[in-house]
Amino acid sequence: MLEKTNGIVLHHFRYGETSVIARVFTREAGLQSFIVPGVRKARARIKQNVFQPLTLVELVIYRKEHGGLQHIREISCPEPWQSIPYDITRTTIAIFLAEMLSGVLKESDPSPGMFDYVKQALVFLDHHSGRIIDFHLVFLLQLSSHLGFSPRSNFDAHHPYFNLREGMYQSSYHGTEPCLDLELSSQFHNLSNCPLEELESLKIKGDQRKVLLHRIIDYYRMHLDGLKEIKSHLVLESVLHE
């Protein structure tokens, strides 16, 4: 059955001599894996560069209802990115977020609301002319609400410590609990409540940004079973600290 859908490419890898397998987050069908034959030939009908991480695409697909590798009839990129491929900070953020999305999305699990959020956020990342070095932190905390484990908004003077496992702020903590200290908890609260349009209002130091990224990944790992080891954040940390 032929279907038309929008998609966000997460990654691709070689398959055989001339083909690739691409994982694409589609709006109507969720995460799908596509085999694309002949894409690495010199005169390929579909060009390999359309499968770069977080490229927005329009697809016509042969949809198999019972999963497995799907096939693409047509694919296009009507609105190519203007900044993400050419700015090292945006490129590295995109690669990291593509790895995170690959880890948290489940095959064939449609989530149009999450798709629309991710697309809107990526358009912001591409177009925003201001400071974006905290974009990935705000993005991940906003994404957590679509995944069902948004941090509880109970931060106040009586509940200043964020417990990663419980997903809420508490009055005190013991060393054995996975809690953020006072300063990091306050920054975590600021990130959780910051619209993307107000990124410049965040006042996060470089060392705090690094620790917060690690703790947010820990937060994801505590609330999502089977999340694989994330590696690209190490490159992102290096770029953001240069």
Q: CA torsion sign, 152 to 153 to 157 to 162?
A: positive
Phi, psi (deg, nearest 5) at residue 40: -95, 10
Q: How confident is the model at residue 242 (pLDDT cuts 50, 70, 90)?
A: low
SS3 state of residue 177: coil
Q: Give the CA count within 13 Å in the CB-facing half-sphere of 128.
A: 19
pLDDT one-digit tens code per residue, 110-152: 899 999 999 999 999 999 999 999 999 999 999 999 999 999 9
Pairing type for strands 70-76 and 161-163 reads unpaired
In percent, the amount of the chain with pLDDT more than 90 equals 72
pLDDT one-digit tens code per residue, 55-112: 999 999 988 777 788 889 899 999 999 999 999 999 999 999 999 999 999 887 889 9
CATH tag for 2-76 (out of 2.60.40.420, 2.40.50.140, 3.50.50.60, 3.40.30.10):
2.40.50.140
pLDDT value of residue 43 = 76
SS3 state of residue 5: strand
pLDDT value of residue 39 = 78
What global pTM score does this model have?
Answer: 0.93
The structural domains of the chain, with segments of one domain joined by +, span 2-76, 88-240
SS3 content of the chain, % helix, strand, coil (to 5): 40, 20, 40
Two structure tokens written together for 22: 């691409």
Q: Which CATH superfamily is domain 88-240 in?
A: Recombination protein O, C-terminal domain (1.20.1440.120)
Residue type at 108 in one-letter notation: S
* Secondary structure of 194-210 in HEC code, one letter for each residue: CCHHHHHHCCCCHHHHH
| Residue 14, beta-bridge partner list | 20
Q: Assess whether pLDDT exceeds 70 at residue 219.
A: yes
Alpha helices in the chain (DSSP H): 88-104, 112-127, 135-147, 182-192, 206-223, 233-240
- Whole-angstrom distance, CA of residue 17 vs CA of residue 156: 58
pLDDT value of residue 128 = 96
pLDDT value of residue 106 = 87
Average pLDDT over residues 4-24: 91
